[in-house]
Amino acid sequence: MEIRVAVASSNGATVNEHFGRAKNFTIYRLVEEIWQHVEERPNLPPCNGHCHSDALLEQTATLLRDCQGVIVNQIGPGAMDTLLYRNILPFALSGSIEDALATVRDSKLFRVRNKIG
């Protein structure tokens, strides 16, 4: 099984996007303990101001259905529930994408769920 993680970033260097406002997700895959960039996926954000669309939230979750994790700066409980229902682990982290990916790779729960090492 290929391990993939989606990252919400507006600048390609830091984790700085709220899950519900992310217009793009960068997909990485884990190959022999090293993360490799796979692709960029445009997204229609489910949150607009103080309201959100359940249909767009489902659409975003479907967009990321082949990922085992999602790294964002912030995420609300409804989005977390939607991702967890699909066995996608949400990670609310900040800082560089490189550091965030290392944190996810080393997460005990992530490793056990994905049978890594």
Query: pLDDT digits over 5-41, tens only?
Result: 999 999 999 999 999 999 999 999 999 999 999 999 9
Domains, the chain, ordered by start: 3-113 (3.30.420.130)
What pLDDT shows up at residue 47?
84
CA distance 111 to 18: 24
pLDDT band at 108 (very low <50, low <70, confident <90, very high): very high
What pLDDT shows up at residue 54?
85
Mean pLDDT throughout 80-88? 96
Q: Could you tell me if 22 and 47 are in contact, meaning their C-beta atoms sit under 8 angstroms apart?
A: no
Residue 11 CB neighbours (<10 A): 9
Mark out the alpha helices in 1-117 (DSSP H runs): 54-63, 77-85, 97-106, 108-113
CA distance 96 to 93: 9
The residues, ordered by sequence, that sit 6+ positions from 42 with a Cβ below 8 Å of its Cβ are 23, 24
- DSSP letter string over 89-114? EEEE--EEHHHHHHHHHH-HHHHHHT
